[in-house]
A = this chain, B = another copy of it.
Amino acid sequence: MSLSPAIQRLVEALRCLPGVGPKSAQRMAFHLLERDREGGRRLAAALTDAIDKVGHCEQCRTLTEEPVCGICRSDSRDRSQLCVVETPADIVAVEQATDFRGLYFVLMGHLSPLDGIGPADIGLDRLAERLARGEVAEIILATNPTVEGEATAQYIADLARSHGIRATRLAHGIPLGGELEYVDGGTLSHAFSGRRDL
């Protein structure tokens, strides 16, 4: 092997990043060591800091190092609208593409009975408590348009209806089988404003 142990370990460690194969891991390692050690140190510190501190928002379950995230804390958001998404990345996508000013609830996944992932695993017990408090008037189901995402949306729509709350689903326009996070902004915006009752 033509790489020394410390460099070899760095190349292997970089493979934990999604989309990084052996060739680009090696390119990254050499780039950092040859040209950007300061950037590499900053990255190591940012990784350790985020991994140590980041947990979940007490209210919406998104990733944050604060007890309650910035959106949930904000005074200027409409607390009667609650948009349910699968991942924190979906919040970023909706915030960037739409003018939605309500709050979010992040499932951190979707129902998947075959994998043993039931309602409590995606926080639906906490969601039910929240719906019972009566602040939410509309729940917007923005789970992915996959089989699991649709089933999860249906489950939550039933939960909402049992609390007398309106449940809407993003309009079709989102490509079926696609991931919300990768939908272009225009399509996502259109699907958002064209949402319909479930």
Tally of chain A residues near chain B (CB < 8 A): 58
- Shortest C-beta distance, A35 to chain B (Å), equals 9
Do A42 and B13 touch (CB < 8 A)? yes
Q: Which residue of B lies closest to A16 (CB)?
A: B39
A24 at interface, CB cutoff 8 A: yes
Question: Which listed segment binds B: A45-53, A112-120, A132-140, A145-153?
Answer: A45-53
Do B69 and A34 touch (CB < 8 A)? no
A58 at interface, CB cutoff 8 A: no
Bitwise interface map of A from 1 to 38 toward B, beta carbon under 8 Å scored 1, else 0: 11111110110111011110000101111111110110
| In the bound complex, CA of A9 to CA of B31 (Å) | 20
A54 at interface, CB cutoff 8 A: yes
- Shortest C-beta distance, A176 to chain B (Å), equals 22
Do A2 and B32 touch (CB < 8 A)? no
- Shortest C-beta distance, A83 to chain B (Å), equals 12
A95 at interface, CB cutoff 8 A: yes
A43 at interface, CB cutoff 8 A: yes
- Shortest C-beta distance, A58 to chain B (Å), equals 13
CB contact under 8 A between A33 and B9, given known A2-B91, A69-B4: no
Tell me which of B13, B24, B39, B44 contacts A39 (CB under 8 A): B13
Tell me which of B12, B34, B48, B89 contacts A63 (CB under 8 A): B34
Interface residues of A (CB under 8 A from B): 1-7, 9-10, 12-14, 16-19, 24, 26-34, 36-37, 39-51, 53-54, 63-66, 69-71, 87-89, 91-92, 95, 108, 181
Subset of 14 A-B contacts with CB under 8 Å = A1-B70, A10-B49, A10-B50, A12-B46, A13-B45, A13-B46, A17-B28, A18-B28, A18-B31, A26-B92, A30-B88, A32-B50, A44-B44, A44-B48
